Each structure stands twice: as structure tokens, then as C-alpha cells.
Chain A
Amino acid sequence: MSDVLTNSGVGLRRRMVTSSSISDASTRRSPIHDWLLRRAPQWRDWGGMPTVGYFESVESEAQLAKTLGLCDVSGMSRHDLRGPDAESWLQSQGWEIPVALHESTLIPGKGRIIRLDHDEFLIEGSVLANIEPLSISSPSERVVDVFHFQRQDATFLLTGGRAIEVFAQTCGVNISKCESGRVIFSRIAGINASIFPDKIGTVPVYWISTGSDLGWYLWETLIEIVEELDGRIIGMTCLLSS
């Protein structure tokens, strides 16, 4: 299959950009790109999308990440895979498939697979790696009944021990009691979103994804609360060293 969605991830290979300028070659933009631009960050390229490396200092942001930080990671690749042959196609890649609904399994060195339904999966990268565009075909070369597209969500990473307090103000689910490695679908600040509790090193982090059209709203809402709780926005460079 080749269509507008599957081919949308241009240049997904992760590469570093040391300059603070945005590469002209980048065609992808985060839903909150202009918001971040006003804070004059140091940019890096991630998944073909200019992504904030850091604002003032990687070291201070690394400290902040342990207590309360908010990072835009919309550049992370997320692939939606669904249809009757979705599971068999994933198995054909040699990947471990999560059995239970909303559970996840790791793709070594790349990211994870999350089961969203009996025939629906989400494959997403991580801070350290991004998933290459998927080329969907069966081993026998017949056309498989799989619908696949690269998601264009707004994805934010809420980090640190006080992140739970942000959820307490925005989400009715008691996130602190949710298992790591299971995705939660709920409402955050009045909109549909998914939350994936995780850890980077020893720091608790939460991947929050919502539709790109609501990304700006969610970001502004979260950052208002984060800053009230003495947190700040951070770039992703500090997370790489965690």
C-alpha cells in the first residue's frame, strides 16, 4: 500500500542538528511549532520534524525533568496498523505481540507495540529511536488486508515525580495506580487523549497523545498547570542522557 498517509513520514531516520536554525528541508511541523518558536529554543531534527533540543541548558532541564517537565515529542513516529491481517503481519516481522488489550511489548532498540483492539495496533518509537516507515506486504507477496498509516498526533512527554499532580488537575483516572506499560485512554482537560506511563532511566514519564488539531490547546493547558507547580518546558536532549 502506498498512499498519502503511509508515505507521510519523510526522512524518519534520526539525525542531530547542532544549529539552532530550522532545516529548510524539514517539511513536518509540530502542532505547537510556533508556540515553541517564540521561546527561542535550540532545535534538533527528529523524524523530519524540528524538535526542541533545549531552551537554555541541558543540565538544568535534566534536573527539571526529574521533578516536573513538559516536552514536545510530536516528531516521534507513531504508526497505526489495523485490519484482519494486522496481527499476522506483525508476527511476520518477528516482533512479540501484546496479548491483552492496551498492553504493550517492546520492539528491541526501536520502540513498542500497543494493542488497541483485537485487530488494531499502535507502533511507536521512543526517545532513543524512531520507527522507520513500515512497508506492508506479506511474505507470500499477496496483498494483505491491513490498513496502515503514520499518525500525525500531538505527543507530549510529561516527566518527573510531580507529573501525577498535573494529571490530578486534568484527568479523572488515577494515573498513579495505573500500570507502567499499559496505555490508558481517557479525557485530559476535556479532550480525548492516550496516556502511556513509562520510565526513562529512573524518571517516571508519561507519553500523552491527542489529535494534532487539539495539540495547541492541550499544550497551553498543561503548561499553565506545570508552571503553577514549578515545572517548565524542556527539550528532548536532556532525556537522551537520562
Chain B
Amino acid sequence: MSERLEPCETHWIDPKCPVPFQFEGVSYSGYEGDVLASALWANGVRFHGRSFKYHRARGAYSMAGHDISLMVEDGQHTNLRGDQLVIRPGLNIRAVNTLGGLEKDWYRVTEWFSKLLPVGFYYKAFYTPKWLFPFYEKQMREVAGLGRVNHNDKIEKTPKDYADCDLLVVGAGPSGMAAACTAAEHDLSVMLIDENPHPGGSLGWQNPMCDPSRNARSEYIHRLKGAPNLEFRAGTQVAGVYADQWVALVDNRRLTKLRTRAMVLATGCFEQPAVFQNNDLPGVMLGSAAQRLMHHYAVKPAEVAVVLAANSDGYQLVLDLIEAGVQIACLVDLRRDGEPTDLDQRVREREVRVLVGYGIDEAVPQRGNKAIRGASICPVDDHGNLDRKTIIRCDCDTILVSVGWVPNAGLIYQAGGRFEYESKLEQLLPSTLPDNVFVSGRANGVYSVPDKVIDGQRAALSAVRYLGKYDGPIPGLNEHVGSPPTHPYPIFSHPNKKNFVDFDEDIHLDDFKNAHQEGYDNVELLKRFTTVGMGPTQGKLSNFNAVRILAQLNGQSINQTGTTTSRPFYNPVPLGHLAGRRFHPVSRTAIHEWHVKNQAQMMYAGASMRPEFYHQEDKSREEAILGEAVCVRHHVGLIDVSTLGKIYVQGPDAASFLEKIYAGRYAKQSVGKLRYGIACDETGVIIEDGIVVRLAEDRYYVTATSSGASAFFRSLQRWAKVLQQDVTLVNVTSQLGAMNLAGPASRELLQPLTDIDLSPTSFPFIGVREGNVAGVSAILARVGFVGELGYEIHVPTSQALHVWEALMRQGKKFSIQPFGVEAQRLLRLEKGHLIVGYDTDSMTNPFEANVAWAIGKKKPFFVGQRSVEILRKQPLLRILVGIRFLKDDYPHWPEECHLIFKNGKSVGRITSLSRRSTLGYPIAMAFLHPDLAKSKTRVEIRVAGDQNVVGEVSDMPFYDPDNQRQEITKKELL
């Protein structure tokens, strides 16, 4: 801890709170508020990580969240950035992307072959011979990627939330704070976002103790706290800007979906690297990184430093370093005219050696390439190249680079902004912006603190005016005076080719030259071939240097060359944040808990939970299902059918409306009777079926399939409007519970519980009655879906459990059993009843489904009628038939959708199937070519292992073809 500076108001650390932590198995101590990189640097550890491709040693470089070489993992989280990761007691972390640890990383051998691995070598090397590709792929997958995901780790629940504001201000630097405070004074709800843990931005690290910085800092931080309609979120990144001012905010805990009406983007600039030999080694870093180390973390960044400058910021950096006790070996100024401000004089007064018109040719490495020991400095010639005839050698342990800035433009691009290059500043500036997006501060080309504040106020007032809360004057933009803050080409070639442009992907200058030689002379093509900007920082430190290189290679201007765009995310977002809290709605009937308590195996039926079957001791699943079905056939069973769609249709046009919706006839349907109905879409495809109950002259009650109820109801609402029908439609699906009591004993069981006369003459098959069951108002319908005497009982949801329990109690003496979906499917299959969406598909018409009998004759209109009539005249291509299997001892058994073959030709597919039935043999329902639909026709079903199972076509229904079980003759039914 010997490298710490005296406490200062800009520091983020608390020197009273030591924090022990481990890195690569070694114990260290930092302070509360330290990030990993600052704590390591303070402990004298400069070698932090390995680069992605060549596994070169790397250290702190930007201290601004872009140091991807210091990516670490703690066993639970991976790819954490060391220049952002705040240390905490007990933190035990390791660098990612190493084999055998950071020091002994075996992958570092790749650097020995670096000359053989230029960009694009993957494309050229691994596509032939083809048979070797699986080997290549395996090796590449082994070494690719950075951190490892711990699949055994517990799931971290991360909330996701929504937020709204009138104005979003991104960046809490001087400009952003001024914008937020100004807007908040105009009765707007303002949200200010900054990725750092404290507000202030560059006020806190760039010459922080000068009067303008101190004043602005104290004023605006105070005002931020006092504005009730201003919310400041620190430690939060804007991950993306989407259409309609939808903005994704990400902090370490959650993703916030923010909707704003306008935005001020005061996102600042990124300081840019200079390209020279070994510019990536530990000890070479941005000037702003050194300032952050000093002013935020109280860390002395160097003992002896060489500063490479191309602007005033480099000179100020030298003064800051001297103040911190750093010895300046040399200030190297790339500009031929040197520094025009009084900073030059101030630096020289401190007896600093200043080399004007010079550049750094090489950072001289120590043995092992894990640190530097000096800088080779050469004069810059008239063409901007280094003249190696004169080399000055300076010993140092650190090289600090301060050669220019590029705007943090990602969010501005995403918000719809476009940029143009401004040569006065040697920087991109916003050229066009959407009406509700405003840019201020350094990203807008404004560099002095007072000007940044004024620019923030300007942007805020413009936004407030856009939002209709201000119509006064708006200050103008102060133009930059003096030399450009950015050098136009701080890039120097070197024969040894370790002058990196992109640190993420280890792309050096010659890689670009080679790519250009191969014809990749367009910025988008160059990006994809070299992969520049495609690493974890998404080119924040490399993209613009790549554009400069391409512009020079093409002999074009920056504007002619163009830039690549930016897409979300600004920084990587943990997948857990994107997933957030899982909202997976599950629908449950009122009887759900009873089912669970009574050993039901629950299953999903769409979004609903239903009992598949009820477990029985010593019985397999198949035996339990068959047992339930047998109970229904011989005694009585009860099934929860609450998920059925239930819709009331009331009004003067109720009957005529249903005539138009369903294919059948309902105008002459008697009150107290039900009819089966099928509904088609305009193409004649069956979309729904159910019962249509007439409760009164002007009131019907219809049911729909469980999964199709909502869509069917919406369809009814639409047709009621289109057909101008005077009806009131009410979807009561969740308002009513329903259960089906079925079996020969059902009448005897139910009669004592109801005030309705259940005798066959009073309440015949397909009759409907309203009355009470177990003291609860109910609709009773005599339906025969499962092929037995039965009553469908519809009651208010809140009372469904009461009725169910009453029926189960009463049923004990009749050996009642609850039955589940599987038994119901078997029973209705035996009865030959189809299930829409199960036995039909999105192309099935009534003729194919064998329900043409449900189409009313001579109807003037029903939805799909025109198509149905056309289909009626066309030859059938398939028809739903029954299949009976001659034996059930095949090793592999067919499943739904298995294909049916005849003489080796595919002739159909299975839709429903049951290996065990109450009939004693396996049965199925299937689509088959009509030529083969004749009873007893033998077919083969292709099952697993290319084996065939033989079945024969059978008449349907398999069970009770004369409806004897319903106490009704065919004549009566018709």
C-alpha cells in the first residue's frame, strides 16, 4: 500500500476501510471504493491479464471500463472487467483466458506463431481439406472465448423493471449535470444516468482542483441532491436506445426499461491510443487512465514516466503527475508547433524535457514482455512518419498517451443521429439528430469546463422547448478555439508488427494494410475481415484509428471513408439481466389443489395445468389411465373440464349470429337443448368446435376448446361488428368452473344433489337444464363426449370446488374415480370423437374430418361457407378414419404423427392413438387417403428403427356405435 496519494475530495476510496482480496491466488489489500485494477496497481501489480489472441501481457490501460485484458471471474460471474469491478472483502478472482494461470499461461505460445496468424488466416487455412474441419473446429472452440460459464452455479434472480421520465440525460459530467439541473427547473421529470459510482465525470479527474472544475462540481452535485423531480442513477449504463424512446438501463442488479420523451446525450469522449511498437504492454496507458488512478483512487501511476502528447490535456497531465510525485523523463509532443497555451511554459518551468515534433517508436520491454523499461523516441518527418535515423532512448516504467479523443457516439447513433468529421477539431461531430435528441459537452466538440456547462444548459433548454415547457432564448454553441484536441494520425508503423490498433483482437497496423491489399477497402468490409471493433469493447479504443488508417490507405478524407454504426449493447449485458424475473403465466382451475392432494400427475394443456391421470398405488401410468377409463365405462368418473372456453351470446340477433358463425343450424334449436357446432375460417378450415346451448330465445351459451377460447372469442367479437349483429358477447371462461360426471351411475349419483329432475324423459340426451347442484346455481348439459351417460356441470368458479367435493363424497358408494385428460382422450377416441387442434390441423376441412354432417343444408351464409362449398365439389385427399391394431406386442409402438404406408408409399398419418383401451385392443385415429378408407384395409405404420406396425381400417366409433349408452336411438338423435 505504498503507492497511495494523500486524501483528496475527488477520491472514491475510503482509506479507513481496508479490503482484503485475492487475485490469482495471491492475497492483497485495497480500500473500500477501489476497483480491482486500482487496487492491484496500488499493490505494485501491473501485469493484470492476457490478450485474446496472442496472450500478450497486459495491464491497466483506460481505467474507464474498456480494459478487456483485465477480465476476471470469481467462480460465479465471468468476464468481469477489472477496471469496473469494485473489490469487496473475500473477493477471490482469477484472470480469464489462460491455461495454467496468468503467469504461466500455456497459450502464450501462440505469440511465437504470430507471423503465421494474420487476420483472415481462419478463412484461408481451415476450409480445406474438408474432412479436417471437425478437428479444426474442436481446437478453435477449445481456445476461443474468454471466461467460462459455471453451469453448476445457482440461478441469480434479477428483477426487471419499467421507468418513465420526460427527459433522460446520459452522462453526469459537467454538461450532463448542467443539463439535468436546468431541465429539472422547468417542471419536468428528469432522469440522469452515469456509469460511474459518483457524479462529476471529467470534473473529478481532469485537472479537478482548478477553479472551474471545483466550482462546477460543488454547485451541480449540490443541485442534483436538491431537485425533487430529478432522479440520479449512478453505476448505471444505457445499454441501448430503441425505437419510440425506449431505453434499456442496466446496473449491476437489474435491467430497467425506460420510456422517455426526449434525451440529452452528454456521453463525453473516449481517449484514444497511439499506435506504436509494444503499445499494449503493461506500463503503457492512456493519460486519462493515469489521472483516474490519481484523482479517483489515490494511486501514484508511475515512478518515471514518458508522456506522449498531442494536445493540451497531455501537458496538464504532466503537471498532475509532477504534483503526485512522478518523475517525468520526457514529454514527447507529436505536433510540430508544440503547445500554444501557457501550459507549455508551466511545464517547462518544472524543468521537464519537452521534445516537440517527436513520436514514440517503441515501448522497450523488460525481459519477459511483462513491463516496460523505456521508450524509443524519434522525430516526426514531414509526412507524419517517424524518422528512425535519430533515436532518443528514455528510461521509464510508464508511457502515458494523450493524443486525442473520439466521441462516445454509440447511443447517439442508436438514437438516430449521424456524424460528420470536423477538421478544426479532428473529431466527429453530430450532423443530424432526431427532434427529441440533443447532444452536449465533449461529444459535441466542447472542451472547456465553462463551455461544457453552457452547452449542457443549451441542450436542456432545447429539450424543454421541444417538450413545450419553455419558449425563451437558447444560448448558442461556443466554437472551439486553439489547436485541435486530437491528433489526425497518431499511428506509426514498425517492422516488428506489435503496434496494435485493436487490443481486443490483437490486430496490428500491418493487418489493416494486408486486408486493404486484398481488396477490403470499404469500412464495413474491412471491419468484418479484420474483426476490428468486434471484441468486447466493440471498438471504443480502435474503431476510429481503423477509419483513419483506411482513409489514408484509400487516399480519402474521413467523411469519404465513413464510419461503422453502433448497435446495442453499449457494453455487454449479463444474460441473467436480459432474462430478468421469469413471467411464465400458468392457469389453474379452482380444483387444482384438490387434484394435487389426490395424487394427480399434472400436465400443461396450453397454458393451463390439468390432471393427466391420478397415481394409484402399484399401478403404472398406463394401468392408472386404463383404470380410470374402465371406471367411467362401468361405474362413474368425474373430470375437471374448467379450462373449456365458455361464451354467452345474448341479444335479438343471437340465433342469426350463431347461424353465421357455425356451419350448423341454430335458429330453430329448442330452448333447453344443445347442438354440436363446428366453426370454420374463411378458407373452410375447422377452427373450433363445441356445444351450442340455447338457454332462452335470445340467449345462448357456447363452449370452445381450451386452448382456442380466447382466439375464438376475439373472432366472435370481430364478426359481430363486421356482420352488424345486435348481440352482447361475454367470455366467461374463467368465471365458470366445469366438470363432467360420466358413467352409468352418474344419474343415480347426481339426483340427490340437485333439484333438477334427471329422469330420461325429463332430461334426455342433449338436453340442458338450469338449477342447483349441492346448493350452487348450475347449468347441466347432457353430453356424451366420453360415450357414457353423463352430465357436464357448469358452476361459478369460486364454488366449483364445493360442488366437486360434494360429487366425490356422494360418489363414494358408486366407486367413483376422478379421471384425467389421458383417460378422457382414450374414452372419446373409443367413441370416435375428434379433438380440434389434435386430430385436425391448420388445413383440415369438415369433409376431411368426417363432420360434414354438422354443416347445415341450404343456409344463406356462414363464415367459410363459400370455401366449404368449393371443397365439397373437390375430391378428398385425406379423411379421418379409425385404425384397429391386430396385436400390441411390437417392440416399438406408433405415436401421434407417425406416417402410414401402403405398398411402401406414404398414405397418411396417425392423429390419436392408444395402445391400451377398454375394448381390449389398441386403436387410433388417422388421416388416410380416401381410397384406403374402406373398413378392414390393412396399412403399415412406420415406427422407430424403421419397423412397421400393422393395423387395419375400422369403422368409427369403436365403442357403442348405436348410442345405447346414452339411452337414445339414432332416430332420436337425428
**Chain A: residues with CB nearer than 8 A to chain B?**
3-8, 10, 27-31, 33-34, 49, 74, 80, 82-84, 119, 145, 147, 149-153, 165, 167-172, 174, 177, 189-191, 211-214, 216-217, 221, 224-225, 228
Contact = CB atoms under 8 A, between A and B. Distances in A.
Contacts of A171: 162
A168 B585 CA distance: 18
Given A4-B796, A174-B162, A152 B802 contact: no
Given A31-B797, A214-B585, A217-B587, 5 more contacts: A10-B775, A33-B593, A169-B161, A189-B585, A212-B735
Contacts of A3: 695, 770, 777, 779
Contacts of B587: 211, 213-214, 217
Interface string B616-655: 0000000000000000000000000011000010111000
A130 to B, nearest CB: 14
Contacts of B695: 3
Contacts of B393: none
Contact of B798 (A29, A145, A191): A29
B257 A4 contact: no
B798 A214 contact: no
B551 interface: no
Contacts of A33: 593
A147 B728 contact: yes
B734 A211 contact: yes
Q: Which 6 A-B residue pairs are closest in the complex by CB-CB distance?
A: A211-B734, A8-B796, A190-B583, A152-B797, A7-B777, A28-B798
Contacts of B801: 29
B700 to A, nearest CB: 12
Contacts of B159: 169, 225, 228
- What range describes how many residues of B lie at the interface? 35 or more
A118 B61 CA distance: 66
A31 B590 contact: yes
B162 A152 contact: no
Interface string B242-283: 000000000000000101000000000000000000000000
7 contacts: A29-B590, A29-B801, A49-B798, A152-B734, A211-B734, A214-B588, A217-B586
A213 B589 contact: yes
Contact of A147 (B162, B642, B648, B795): B648
Interface in B110-142: none
Given A3-B770, A147-B728, A152 B777 contact: no
A132 to B, nearest CB: 16
B415 interface: no
Nearest to A48: B798
Contact of A80 (B161, B730, B794): B730
Contacts of B493: none
B728 A83 contact: yes
Contacts of A189: 583, 585
B597 to A, nearest CB: 9
A168 B163 CA distance: 7
A221 B164 contact: no
B448 interface: no
B608 interface: yes
A82 B728 contact: yes
A84 B856 CA distance: 31
B472 to A, nearest CB: 27
A96 to B, nearest CB: 24
B799 A27 contact: yes
Given A212-B797, A213-B587, A27 B776 contact: yes
Contact of A172 (B162, B643, B776): B162
Contact of A152 (B586, B608, B776, B798): B798
A191 B585 contact: yes
A213 B642 CA distance: 9
A149 B164 contact: no
Given A4-B778, A34-B593, A177-B164, A190 B650 contact: no
Contacts of A172: 162, 257
B728 A4 contact: no
A4 B161 contact: no
A150 B588 contact: no
Contacts of A28: 796, 798-799, 802
Contacts of B454: none
B732 interface: yes
B736 interface: yes
Contacts of B225: none
Contacts of A30: 798
Contacts of B735: 5, 149, 151-153, 211-212
Q: Which of B583, B798, B799 has the most CB of A within 10 A?
A: B798
Given A27-B775, A145-B651, A149-B730, A4 B736 contact: yes
B859 interface: no
A4 B779 contact: yes
B164 A174 contact: yes
B84 to A, nearest CB: 25
B4 interface: no
Given A7-B777, A149-B735, A152-B734, A213 B588 contact: yes
Contacts of B593: 33-34
Contact of A150 (B733, B795, B796): B796
A228 B253 CA distance: 13
Given A5-B732, A31-B590, A83-B650, A217 B162 contact: no
Nearest to A34: B593
Given A3-B695, A214-B734, A8 B770 contact: no
Contact of B777 (A8, A147, A170): A8
Q: Which of A3, A80, A84, A119 has the most CB of B within 10 A?
A: A3
A27 B586 CA distance: 25
A134 B837 CA distance: 40
A224 B583 CA distance: 12
A147 B730 contact: yes
B194 to A, nearest CB: 21
B965 interface: no
A4 B651 contact: no
A71 to B, nearest CB: 17
Interface in B153-206: 159-164
B592 interface: yes
B581 interface: yes
A152 B730 CA distance: 13
B682 to A, nearest CB: 27
B749 to A, nearest CB: 19
Nearest to A152: B797
A15 to B, nearest CB: 17
Nearest to A228: B159
Interface in B753-812: 770, 774-779, 794-799, 801-802
A84 B734 CA distance: 24
B583 A212 contact: no
Given A4-B795, A212-B735, A27 B802 contact: yes
B648 A212 contact: no
Contacts of A225: 159, 581
A169 B157 CA distance: 13
A131 to B, nearest CB: 15
Contacts of B726: 84
Contacts of B733: 211, 213
A80 B796 CA distance: 14
A213 B770 CA distance: 24
Contacts of B589: 213
A145 to B, nearest CB: 7
Nearest to B731: A211
A12 B973 CA distance: 43
B732 A149 contact: yes
B837 to A, nearest CB: 19
Contacts of A4: 736, 770, 777-779, 794-796
A152 B796 contact: yes
A151 B734 CA distance: 9
Contacts of B736: 4-5, 152
A26 to B, nearest CB: 8
B654 to A, nearest CB: 11
